[in-house]
Amino acid sequence: MTSFHRRALAAALVLALLGGAAPAAAGPPAERAVPAAHAPAADRAGTDGPRSTGATDRVVVKFREDARSTPRTRERVYAEAAEQLAPPGGAASGPGAPAPRLDEISETVDSARVVAAGDLLDPRQLETLTDALEEDPAVEYAEPDRLASIAATPDDPYYATSQWNLQPTPAGLGLPAAWDRATGAGQTIAVVDTGITSHPDLDANVLPGYDFVSLHAGAVQPGHARDGDGWDPDPRDEGDYAGADECWSGSAARSSSWHGTHTAGIAAARGGNATGVAGVAYDAALLPVRALGACGDGYVSDIAVAIAWAAGEDVGTVPANPRPATVVNLSLGFLSGTCPAVLQDGIDRALARGASVVVAAGNNDRDARMESPANCRGVITVAATTAHGGRAAYSNWGRVTLAAPGGDPARQILSTANSGGNRPGSGSYSYKYGTSMASPTVAGIVALVRETDPSLTPAQVKDVLVATARPLPGPCPGGCGAGLVHPRAAVARATLQEGYTVQGAIGALHARIGSSTGAPRSHERCGLVRDGCYQEFERGAVYWSPDTGARWVHGAVRGAWNRAGGVNGLLGYPRTVEVGNGAGGVHQLFQGGTVVWSAGTGAVPVRGAIGGRWASLGGETGLLGYPLDAERGGLTGGGALQDFARGRILWSPATGAQPVHGAIGRAHADLRGEQGRLGYPVTPELRAGGTTVQHFQGGSIAYHRGGITISYR
């Protein structure tokens, strides 16, 4: 497997913005959040201005295989190319200034090098530099490492009062008809954006993500991390606010957009929880991947690695992503007539790992072929429509896959937000409009389709969406691809509900238990992880792998298994059918654990060291009884715990898995459990005479004749 590696080659890099006149080329303004009540005039006024569409201080250089491991060759190439930027004269500044120094600062996709100059280079300088680099026989390609921005929208925001975009109206998507069959369970949607903030309508669905914003040294400027370090495991949105002149010369101060929180909510805000809004795939998991910093900008080299990591690619020193995305959303873009090679490489790696990549078409009312990543190969490019069903005036057109609601000033898209002006505050809701909103809508629909048929490849998912799209209710000057995305039809096509036969091992099992499964509701589909196959039936599904054979899984047990990731999760394939336990419940064994069900507790998985310990204590009919919820990690010292009907099991690397229950368990909990002075248990309860004692890292708890005695070391 090819790995990404990231090795900092410079201790710090201070990048200065060019002063003087505003850049000649102007980009789109940033999206505007609209409060729930009428905004004061100052909030409604546009504060965004032009930014450079070409200036950057970095280039990406890919060396040919025989030159990669030769530092002197690379240094020579950089020095000779930099000389091409030096005007005659050699003055200290202005015309005739000396050539900039080019320094390698990291690696990105496929061992390509990220090379930084000391200052921003304008489009002419970039063309000169990249041409000079590519003329060297040691170089495979060289290209600007451009700053990609949030897919922006026009100013003048108005208000919307409901999620019109999801309703069964001519311009809406009619999601309830699709939710009857799929809600995104078992799917992971990666949101490569500004990061995420805590929100009561998101937190239950959010997985641990990662921060790939590399720029952190020096003064705040476009793409700055603001968190004091480079890549790290904290994808929290630090705010993309900026002071006057920090985004570009002459730019006004701006508040934080909380763009990643908004797009995440569109894709997968929790549904059915009597709170706020419902996301398109409200049972899917959200993987926040931060790649955009100050001003809503981020370097393409960071974005490329973020995409690949989200899909499960090895990125060297970064810990592997334990829950690879099935779909990656990119609500970002920049003007470029071609897709940069480094960005295409990151996308290709995600596609190769089975993750669809959904991107915003852009908001410049131009052919999407002129923007990246909208013009990259293999992506699903999404234009924006309005509440009247036509293409939004700002939306790009032409080379797009299809369209989805993105709103306009009169009717915007409601989603999760944050109350903070600059730094994060409390969770809130706001309205925005743009192709940034249309893209996560389609990402959520991809999750519905993938839940229906996990074996579909990204190309097949794209074919399903294209084949089932419907004509726009309104006009689309320039073309909107296949039309308006149609969730119900897409899910129905993936489900394939009639005319199906059974065969092989799955057919043999169906022949034995057909009265339980009902009629087939799909063809047998293969290509799952570890060469597995499955087939849908009226009342569940049969899954097969070379290691486990064909096994029937259905009902609440299947639901809990899907929430844990299905065949792609830690539980893996089923090893047995459901088995009654003699106590009114059932359990089913999987490769990585067990799912246990009772009428009082529902279906809950148990696995790993905690599951093994629970089984040794008699499982659901033993000491602790049924599990109440899934294992929870992230405790003090890297520990985990799981609650059961009559106690809990605590695990840490230092102590292993130990049960606590009864009076001793209650006393331990009253003393702040594993976070308190006693810490984790190191033994189970031990009985000697009339006394029961349990030992902990920091002491012991003894129970004797109804009394508790606590001893500390």
Q: What is the pLDDT of residue 496?
A: 57
How does residue 69 score in pLDDT terms, banded at 50, 70 and 90? Answer: low
CA distance 150 to 145: 16
* Burial tier of 572 (Cβ tally within 10 Å: 0-12, 13-18, 19+): buried
Q: Say whether pLDDT at 37 is over 50.
A: no
Q: What is the pLDDT of residue 344?
A: 96
Token digits of residue 626? 């049924």
Architecture of domain 55-145 in CATH? Answer: 2-Layer Sandwich (3.30)
Token digits of residue 543? 């899954």
Active site residue ranges: 193, 259, 436
Distances (CA, A) of 527 to 134, 182, 353, 524, 543: 40, 21, 12, 10, 12
CA distance 444 to 277: 14
CA distance 710 to 679: 13
Q: Which of 214, 204, 320, 340 is nearest to 272 (CA)?
A: 204
Q: What is the pLDDT of residue 587?
A: 94
CA distance 91 to 372: 37
Q: Where are the beta strands (DSSP E) in 64-138?
A: 103-107, 113-121
Higher pLDDT, 525 or 370: 370
Give 209-227 pLDDT, tens digit per residue: 999 999 998 888 899 989 9
How does residue 562 score in pLDDT terms, banded at 50, 70 and 90? Answer: confident
Higher pLDDT, 67 or 688: 688
Token digits of residue 711? 């001893």
CATH code of the region 149-495: 3.40.50.200
Q: What is the pLDDT of residue 614?
A: 96
Q: DSSP secondary-structure letter at 295?
A: G
Using alpha carbons only, how large is the chain's radius of gyration in Å? 28
Give 322-346 pLDDT, tens digit per residue: 999 999 999 999 999 999 999 999 9
Boundaries of every domain in the chain: 55-145, 149-495, 497-553
Task: Read off the pTM.
Answer: 0.61
Token digits of residue 582? 């003699």
Give 487-504 pLDDT, tens digit per residue: 988 888 886 544 467 889
Long-range pairs of 532-540 with CB within 8 A, sequence gap ≥ 24 = 532/567, 532/573, 533/455, 533/504, 533/506, 534/454, 534/455, 534/506, 534/567, 535/500, 535/502, 535/506, 535/510, 536/495, 537/510
Q: Say whether pLDDT at 465 is over 80.
A: yes
Q: Say whether pLDDT at 600 is over 70.
A: yes
- Percent of the chain clearing pLDDT 90 (strictly above): 57
Give 371-386 pLDDT, tens digit per residue: 999 999 999 999 999 9
- Of 526-530, 537-541, 596-600, 675-679, least confident by mean pLDDT is 526-530
Close Cβ partners of 670 (under 8 Å, ≥ 6 residues apart): none
Q: What is the mean pLDDT of residues 448-475?
A: 90
